Structure 1
Amino acid sequence: MKTAEIAQRYLDFFEKNDHVIVPSASLVSDDPSLLFTVAGMVPFIPYLNGTVPPPYRRAADVQKCIRTNDIEEVGKTARHGTFFQMLGNWSFGDYFKEGAISYAWELLTSSEADGGLGFAERDLWVTVYEDDDEAAGLWQRIAGLPVERIQRLGREDNYWSTGQPGPAGPCSEIYFDRGPAYGREGGPAVDDSRFTEIWNLVFMQYAITNVRSKIDFDIVGELPNKNIDTGMGLERVAFIKQGVDNMYETDQVRPVLDRAVELSGRTYGAVHEDDVRFRVIADHVRSSLMLLSDGVTPSNEGRGYILRRLMRRSIRAMRLLGVDGPTFPDLFTASRDAMKDAYPVVETDWSRISQYAIAEEETFLRTLASGSTILDLAVSQTKDAGGSSIAGEEAFLLHDTYGFPIDLTLEVAEEAGLTVDRAAFDRLMHEQRARAKADAKSRKRAIADLSVYSRYRAQGETIFTGYSDLETESTVLGILVDGVSVDRASGGQIAEVILAETALYAESGGQVADKGVIVGPGYELDVLDVQKPVPGLVSHTVEVTSGEVGVGQPATTVVDAANRRAARQAHSATHLVHAALRDTLGKTATQAGSLNRAGYMRFDFSWGQALSDATKSEIEEIANNAVRDNLEVTTRVLPLDEAKAAGAMALFGEKYGSTVRMVDIGGPWSRELCAGTHVSTSAEIGLISLVGESSVGASNRRVEALVGLDAFRSLAAERAIVSQLTSSLKTPRDQLAARIADLQAQLKAAEKKIASFEAKSLGDRLPALVGSAATVGSHRVIAESLGAAASADDVRSLALQARDRLGSDAAVVALGAVVGERPVVVVATNDAARAAGAKAGVLAKAAAAALGGGGGGRDDVAQGGGTDAAALPAALAAVTAALGGA
């Protein structure tokens, strides 16, 4: 039974049983404390904890998930994968334990001919929470399971919570017995390799508080509405139904594994280490494909870092299988073909997805090449110094700065007969992870308890009137100070104010929040920010500038009209620039993010190279022609499917409901899903002036523009500068560029001549330097400060010349100088000095320490520097002292 068929049977079964079928949410979670949708219940959390009223009583879905906390286990077990699909059925105050158990047992054990999954009853075991007599009794009554196949486990295994105060409850897990070949008898309590969990039924019935750990908390009572949250692992059911040993061999994953086998020329099933690598590749490539399809792009932070890590682990695994060249064109194509029936977007958006994947592989292959060069130098220096271990700091630098995998560092070191200080590396990694966890924890604390908004959201969605009105009368529904609900706020306090209606736009879709005030009888509030803390609810962060505001009082929101007008211009300009980009570069130049505020817009798009000046001018001209043509701007609210069928573009990462707002500028020329505020006709934008174009990733570019009056003021300022230059240089405007280029050439020639004079001046000092040589220990030593020098290269050249003049006896030259206000010391040694133990790199480090900096280099010539120019005499003395002890 194919994976897609299992999913469809699941949805058909629950639809037949009056469940609303909900499409999968994005892998990019709405929850700001999560990078990804890590479990099937994540999109339903607002309904489960009562923050947002559920739009249906019962639902079912197939949810895409990404989880990387067990990434080191991928490929080693039958069930660990970073991307997985969770089948879920949900009840919000409707059916409870009996219904959940009945539905699960019926679907699992009904014959395939009747639309079920056809599991044999004898192969199924269940676990229940140790005190849940009700669930145990229902399993006996509904499924006829004998007591010995119903095992009771404690909180660690069979009690669910979010880890925060709120809803929680016991759960019941269903296991499949894979048979004696996979482990011991005795059920899931004894061996969870043989007995594989396939479905978890969570009975959310209690409220908990004082959460001290996963198993240590206080139950404070029953919930008014008991909910059902279930999750069945699609991949786990698939590998059982398809008769294979693990999820990597199922129909949606195996094609990637097979292609990796073909590319490597090795055999799957022959060597355990190779098998693990093949599975890692199959899993990680599929996960990367799905993340890319949801708009995540590789980067060095957040979600992009996780994606980059998955992709680079795949490349590394292929390298360990003997493949050094590009593989992603083959591997991603295989994954696309395996997943496109379930997720058509991977095919329809293939051009963009493949562009990112191939660019990332090319970048990392270059990283491996450059990292190998740096590592080779570290190996050489370690050996030359008589060491046997590469410093953990060096290995961490390669990993953290260059993305060079630690296992490759270990491999190269071993080939060179060295080890790596793994303890130091692991300590640095632990410190980095601790910092990341602390940062994540602080973010989670900042938004930890959204339940405070539930009482306001339960009264309905906040009505936004700002599309048509700049002032709206309403009522104060609630006031929060420091996250706590209060009755009133007075002068000087910062508070959140919840209203029934508002004309103030809440930040979303790239458009920043409106500015304005909220006024009422005896009070005035300055609006600092407007946000949507939970879907459908608008919160105004305000400063009470006069009077006192209380719950239940009348309130009028007043939008700053000038700021709103400029923000509308910027947002509409963003749509025009997007359309102009697609006209100029083609349909693959898709939006990857935007920001609009009064007078300014920035737009990120998928593109792999810098735009030429001619291309930027063309984009700017197309956008401004659209302004000139005074195109009509229209908005329509319609079903999402209808909008997509009409060609409306959606922003990756944005969440859309079943009904959306579509904005047209000039009809289909610019047609996007957008909830932002816009001008009525394009001429209202006034002017668009591109002021920047830059890279924001391997395959992402960013254009920035000023809009309206801000664009005019910028161009007027440039005009004034040009006028000043034409006057100062006494050159016509059309000849200005040539005149400046001529002046630059003259300046460069003059600088070259000055450098030549300075170098000759230094060279003239050579005889005196040689004459200053003194004997230190067994070495002839020159240790002199040159004063100011044009470049470190000049100092190096003089040091080498002086060394050669000292003959074949052991000689060391240390010259100091100030280059561009920073001190530099160059050390040169000859063969005899090195044979006697004087190494330039060691001496340069000693000098640099006195300068408050660092240094090093080869044994024959090295350089150090720092920040304290006054310490040059001490730095040269440090070289002499080091030689005296040699």
Structure 2
Amino acid sequence: MTAAQIRQQFLDFFVSKGHHIVPSAPIVLKNDPTLMFTNAGMNQFKDIFLGNKQPQWTRVADTQKCLRVSGKHNDLEEVGIDTYHHTMFEMLGNWSFGDYFKEEAIAWSWELLTEVYKLPKDRLYVTVFEGSEAENLPMDAEAFDFWKRHIAEDRILLGNKKDNFWEMGETGPCGPCTEIHVDCRTDAERAAVPGKELVNNDHPQVIEIWNNVFMQFNRMKDRSLVPLPAQHVDTGMGFERLVRVIQGKQSNYDTDVFTPLIRATEQLCGKKYGQTEKTDIAFRVIADHIRAISFTIADGQLPANTGAGYEIRKILRRGVRYYNSFLDVTQPLLHELVPVLAEEFKNVFPELHQQTDFVKRIIFEEETSFLRTLDSGLGRLEGILADSKDKTLAGAVAFELFDTYGFPFDLTRLIASEKGFTVDEAGFKSELQKQKERSRAATKLDMGDWSVLDEQPSGVFVGYTELATDAKVLKYRQITAKGKDQYQIVLDKTPFYAESGGQVGDTGTLYFGDEAIAVTDTKKENDLIVHFTDHLPAHPEAAVKAEVDALKRRDIARHHSATHLLHAALRQVLGTHVAQKGSLVNAEYLRFDFSHFAKVTDEELASIEAIVNEKIRENIPVIIREMPRDEAMKLGAMALFGEKYGDTVRVVTIDPQYSLELCGGTHVGHTGELGLFKFLSEGAVAAGVRRVEAVTGAKAEAYVNEQIAQLKEIKAAIKNPKEPAKAVETLVAEKSALEKQLAALELKQVQQAAASLPQQAETVNGVQFIGAVVDASSADAVRLYANVLKDLLTAPFAAVLCANVGGKAQVTVLLSDDLVKDKGLNAQKIIKEQVAGLIKGGGGGQPSMANAGGQDVSQFPTVIEKVKSIL
């Protein structure tokens, strides 16, 4: 049975049990401040479990893309080392929202595994929660009794809180769980050691494949447990493990989920899987990591230096390190696997197949860049080892190589050992822990528990048609982010738009009678609309009038409608490959990121701008309708990759033949309200992604007026010529010619002055030494003195040249090559360790010539004597 058939049988089975199949949520989370990525199947249903949202169906099933690389659920370091941990994985799940509970969930999981998939019953074990005295939680006797109907009692094992009480995080929905484990060992191995002794003991062949979580509680900040409004079933079955068991393999990587990627990697690197442990780990790392990287980029998260983008870049670089270090591949490899992966999943997660070329290009550019970084890191390590006077590499240096160049500790230790060095592992771990603590401190978000005034499920957004409304507070809480206290307020209805789809959240005021509370931001947290304030009202239970800043909202709406006009014009001028990759819409300007692999020329920008302004002048009505998603897709509406759309969507139309997009943002009534559209800038964001910024309305008018005013100033400064552009070109050309003349004169002056310096040389320990204060107009002039002097002196020689340049100290140290090679002297070290501190500055350079700049010109005599003493 193939992996595709196994997946389909799961979904078909639960359809037969009355479940509705829902699509996977994006792997990148946008509205949950507690998570970067979807790390479990239940993430998209979190608000249903909390009672904040009513479910559309009480029974659903799905296969969910998940990613675990940070936080509590972090499997990254195990990936590739063992045969069953993954970064990106599929979680097959069936869900009950206040419908069936333990009895049905247990019976159906047993029926599917033993009657549909035909797994041998004598290889299965189950675990149930044993209870916790510390938290006054009883044993899950219900689950135990239900299991006795299906499996022998000696195969029902009691599990502790760690293994059999599921919690998503520090707070949130939770409950006892019952797991199903399968013993994949040989008959002889099973006879020697009973499987029950190996359950939950990290045995590679006795593994958990299914977890039935019974959502009963909400974990509060003080660690107390509060019963949820309704009981739910949250089940998860690791698809990759299930396929392994059904196909009778000893490793997840031996199944047809991964073998196409491994075979493709073999062809690319010329090595075979199954030869050595080191190369096998590399094959597994690559097969796993390309899935995480590709699906996350397809869902809209590009590699970056911070946040979720940093986690993706870290996974990508780990893959590069492994193929570079252990498969001896020096050219980009990962991007070549994207088409293989896209083809495999085109009927499951089609978003990757639809963006194959784009994802491939992004990964290629990232690989290319990091391979250069790896070369630099290797050079850095070789230099450190060559300069070291003892045979121990400091932990701080190993951490620098890890943090800056991506060198794993094991690779640093391997290279060091080849040179006869050991590495301070404890020091490395200490530096790594410090970094983790800094990262946690920078992103720490401390959330208090909600104070609930009304149990109504969720607030209603009325802001498409109203900018002010009467409301009441449902709940509120205090949060602390980066040391600053704020408050969140949830209303039963609100005109405030919550940040979404690139549009910023509304600001405005909440009026509690005579007390006015400023709303500083509005965001979505899962499906809640939360209003951020700096303090709470004296009487939060009082009636409230919620009023949006109307002028700001109007400017935001102009810029949001402009992005739709812009998107269509970009596709018209640049090609239909253009797709939105990010946006920011606020009252001041719009920013739009899109897929395109070349700089947008000035002529193309002019054409795009002209098209947008033509559509503005046509004063086209902006028509907004709600309709079934399938109907919108048939009309040709554009959807954004990485967005989660419901069955009913909002379609924004600006001329059906021009712009038709799914969008939840706020818009103008007619395009004429935009007034004018002007570009501010165009540039690169990442490989294959360009960014433009633009303004509309009064902002565009102000920008144009500012440009005209600057042009008038320039024309006045150059005597108002008829053709100012040509006049400026002439001035630039004249300036360039004068600079060349000045440089030639300066060179001649320096040559004449430097010619007398050898006469001042003294012999120090067999070396010609010159220490002098020279007349120079810049740091470059001081270096010019050194270069001229180098041709006048006979080795061995050393010189230190000082100059007062506009009250600032400039120092250059020059050494002949034989002093560097034979005597171990280093101008860069002398500058950094001996000179820079004296002149209260800093510097650097090469072993034979280095420079420093500083504040204290009075120290020149001391500097000269210090360098002389080194000789």
TM-score by length of 2: 0.90
What is residue 754 of structure 1 aligned with on the other side? 742
Work out the CA distance in 2 between the residues paired with 1:221 and 1:568: 42
Is 1:512 aligned with 2:504?
yes
Work out the CA distance in 1 between the residues paired with 2:465 and 2:652: 15
What is residue 283 of structure 1 aligned with on the other side? 288
Work out the CA distance in 2 between the residues paired with 1:535 and 1:276: 41
The answer to whether the 8 Å contact 1:599/1:709 transfers is: no
What is residue 490 of structure 1 aligned with on the other side? none
Deviation at 1:291, TM superposition (A): 1.2
Deviation at 1:172, TM superposition (A): 1.5
Helix, strand or coil: the match of 2:555?
helix
What residue identity is the alignment partner of 2:209?
I
Is 1:256 aligned with 2:261?
yes
What residue identity is the alignment partner of 2:863?
A
Is 1:551 aligned with 2:559?
no
Instruction: Give the alignment partner of residue 482 of structure 1, picking from 478, 482, 486.
Output: 478
> Which structure 2 residues correspond to residues 641-680 of structure 1 after superposition, within 5 A?
641-680=630-669
Work out the CA distance in 2 between the residues paired with 1:605 and 1:176: 47
Q: Deviations over 1:557-601 (max 9, x none)?
A: 334333232222111111111111111221222111111122411
Is 1:91 aligned with 2:96?
yes
Helix, strand or coil: the match of 1:704?
strand
Helix, strand or coil: the match of 1:862?
strand
Deviation at 1:613, TM superposition (A): 1.4
CA distance 1:541–1:838, shift in 2 (3 Å): closer
Helix, strand or coil: the match of 1:41?
helix
What is residue 15 of structure 2 aligned with on the other side? 15
Deviation at 1:296, TM superposition (A): 1.6
The answer to whether the 8 Å contact 1:633/1:682 transfers is: yes
The answer to whether the 8 Å contact 2:53/2:527 transfers is: yes
What residue identity is the alignment partner of 1:205?
Q
Work out the CA distance in 2 between the residues paired with 1:407 and 1:301: 25
More off after superposition, 320-329 vs 676-685: 320-329
Work out the CA distance in 2 between the residues paired with 1:558 and 1:210: 32
CA distance 1:226–1:506, shift in 2 (3 Å): closer
What is residue 827 of structure 2 aligned with on the other side? 840
CA distance 1:32–1:612, shift in 2 (3 Å): same
Instruction: Give the alignment partner of residue 215 of structure 2, picking from 194, 204, 215.
Output: 204
Is 1:570 aligned with 2:559?
yes
The answer to whether the 8 Å contact 2:52/2:527 transfers is: no
What residue identity is the alignment partner of 2:141?
E
Q: Percent identity?
A: 38
What is residue 459 of structure 1 aligned with on the other side? 456
Deviation at 1:196, TM superposition (A): 1.4
The answer to whether the 8 Å contact 1:853/1:865 transfers is: yes
The answer to whether the 8 Å contact 1:822/1:869 transfers is: yes
> Which structure 2 residues correspond to residues 433-472 of structure 1 after superposition, within 5 A?
433-440=436-443, 442-443=444-445, 445=446, 447=447, 449=449, 451-452=450-451, 456=454, 458-472=455-469
What is residue 145 of structure 2 aligned with on the other side? 138
What is residue 786 of structure 2 aligned with on the other side? 799
> Which structure 2 residues correspond to residues 430-829 of structure 1 after superposition, within 5 A?
430-440=433-443, 442-443=444-445, 445=446, 447=447, 449=449, 451-452=450-451, 456=454, 458-472=455-469, 474-478=470-474, 480=476, 482=478, 496-519=488-511, 521-539=513-531, 541=533, 550-553=540-543, 555-732=544-721, 735-776=723-764, 778-792=766-780, 794-802=781-789, 805-808=792-795, 810-818=796-804, 822-829=808-815
The answer to whether the 8 Å contact 2:385/2:416 transfers is: no
The answer to whether the 8 Å contact 1:788/1:818 transfers is: yes
What is residue 333 of structure 2 aligned with on the other side? 327
Deviation at 1:535, TM superposition (A): 0.8
More off after superposition, 697-706 vs 818-827: 818-827
What is residue 837 of structure 2 aligned with on the other side? 849
Work out the CA distance in 2 between the residues paired with 1:514 and 1:424: 48
Helix, strand or coil: the match of 1:748?
helix
Work out the CA distance in 2 between the residues paired with 1:836 and 1:292: 53
Work out the CA distance in 2 between the residues paired with 1:836 and 1:84: 58
What is residue 339 of structure 1 aligned with on the other side? 345
CA distance 1:500–1:35, shift in 2 (3 Å): closer
Deviation at 1:526, TM superposition (A): 3.6
Q: Deviations over 1:822-861 (max 9, x none)?
A: 5332222336755566543443332123234444554433
What residue identity is the alignment partner of 1:630?
N
The answer to whether the 8 Å contact 1:182/1:193 transfers is: no
More off after superposition, 5-14 vs 677-686: 5-14
Deviation at 1:426, TM superposition (A): 4.2
Q: Deviations over 1:806-833 (max 9, x none)?
A: 545x532111224576533222233675
Deviation at 1:406, TM superposition (A): 5.5
CA distance 1:171–1:702, shift in 2 (3 Å): same
Aligned residue-pair number:
847
Helix, strand or coil: the match of 1:592?
strand
CA distance 1:636–1:783, shift in 2 (3 Å): same
The answer to whether the 8 Å contact 1:572/1:678 transfers is: yes
CA distance 1:561–1:330, shift in 2 (3 Å): closer
The answer to whether the 8 Å contact 2:451/2:477 transfers is: no
Deviation at 1:70, TM superposition (A): 2.0
The answer to whether the 8 Å contact 1:857/1:863 transfers is: yes
What residue identity is the alignment partner of 2:650?
R
What is residue 193 of structure 2 aligned with on the other side? 185
Work out the CA distance in 2 between the residues paired with 1:836 and 1:62: 67
More off after superposition, 673-682 vs 640-649: 640-649
Helix, strand or coil: the match of 1:635?
strand
Helix, strand or coil: the match of 1:14?
helix
Helix, strand or coil: the match of 1:667?
coil
> Which structure 2 residues correspond to residues 857-876 of structure 1 after superposition, within 5 A?
857-876=845-864
Work out the CA distance in 2 between the residues paired with 1:256 and 1:622: 45
Deviation at 1:384, TM superposition (A): 5.6
CA distance 1:749–1:305, shift in 2 (3 Å): same
What is residue 52 of structure 1 aligned with on the other side? 53
Where structure 1 has 5 or more consecutive residues not aligned to the other structure, the ranges are: 111-115, 212-216, 485-492
> Which structure 2 residues correspond to residues 21-420 of structure 1 after superposition, within 5 A?
21-29=21-29, 30-68=31-69, 69-110=74-115, 116-131=116-131, 132=139, 134-135=141-142, 137-143=144-150, 145-165=151-171, 167-180=173-186, 185-190=193-198, 192-206=203-217, 223=228, 225-319=230-324, 320-369=326-375, 371=376, 375-376=378-379, 379-380=382-383, 382-383=385-386, 388=391, 395-403=398-406
Work out the CA distance in 1 between the residues paired with 2:540 and 2:159: 50
The answer to whether the 8 Å contact 1:298/1:698 transfers is: no
CA distance 1:837–1:201, shift in 2 (3 Å): closer
What residue identity is the alignment partner of 1:711?
A
Q: Deviations over 1:426-465 (max 9, x none)?
A: 443332222223334x13x2x464x556x65x42443333
Work out the CA distance in 2 between the residues paired with 1:208 and 1:581: 48
Work out the CA distance in 1 between the residues paired with 2:360 and 2:790: 56
Deviation at 1:664, TM superposition (A): 0.7
Work out the CA distance in 1 between the residues paired with 2:86 and 2:724: 62
Deviation at 1:787, TM superposition (A): 4.8
CA distance 1:757–1:247, shift in 2 (3 Å): same
Where structure 2 has 5 or more consecutive residues not aligned to the other structure, the ranges are: 132-138
Work out the CA distance in 2 between the residues paired with 1:882 and 1:726: 58
Helix, strand or coil: the match of 1:258?
helix
CA RMSD of aligned residues (A): 3.1
The answer to whether the 8 Å contact 2:286/2:334 transfers is: no
TM-score by length of 1: 0.88
CA distance 1:156–1:467, shift in 2 (3 Å): closer
What is residue 487 of structure 1 aligned with on the other side? none
